[in-house]
Amino acid sequence: MTKDIHVDISNALDEHLLDAISNGAPLLDEKGDPVLDAEGNAIRRPPSAAILNTARQRLKDLGITKIMVEGDATDEIRKWLGLVEGENPLETLKLPKLSEEPDAATG
């Protein structure tokens, strides 16, 4: 343990979250012990929504809101919209001019 216990706690939390996301969470029996496969390895399942939300909140707490990764879903949406990294979509997107003709709602 370091002199500053909060550093140890922070590092342990980060390691636990990274393991759960990267390798899945261990499946536990009713006593809380890991369920083992035929070779004696812990059976892992995909991370739960709670783990993913905890990891998202941890990143948010650290001030990390989005890491732009080439080819991820957000990157594909930005390309489809014609945006480049660093642009504010509210300033960049050009919405079509609205018709001033009457319609079913206005008359």
33, part of any domain = yes
Using CA atoms, how far apart are residues 2 and 87, in angstroms rounded to an integer?
Answer: 42
Provide mean pLDDT across the span 44-70: 83
Has residue 61 been placed in a domain?
A: yes
103 is a domain residue: no
In the chain, the number of structural domains is: 1
Chain-centroid distance, C-alpha 2: 30
pLDDT of residue 4: 84
pLDDT per residue as tens digits for the range 61-101: 888 776 666 666 666 666 666 666 666 655 555 666 777 77
Place of tokens 């993913």: 52
Q: What range does the domain containing 14 cover?
A: 5-92
* 44 within a domain of the structure (yes/no): yes
pTM of the full structure? 0.54
Residue 87 confidence (pLDDT): 60
Residue 31 has pLDDT above 90, yes or no: yes
Residue 27 DSSP label = P
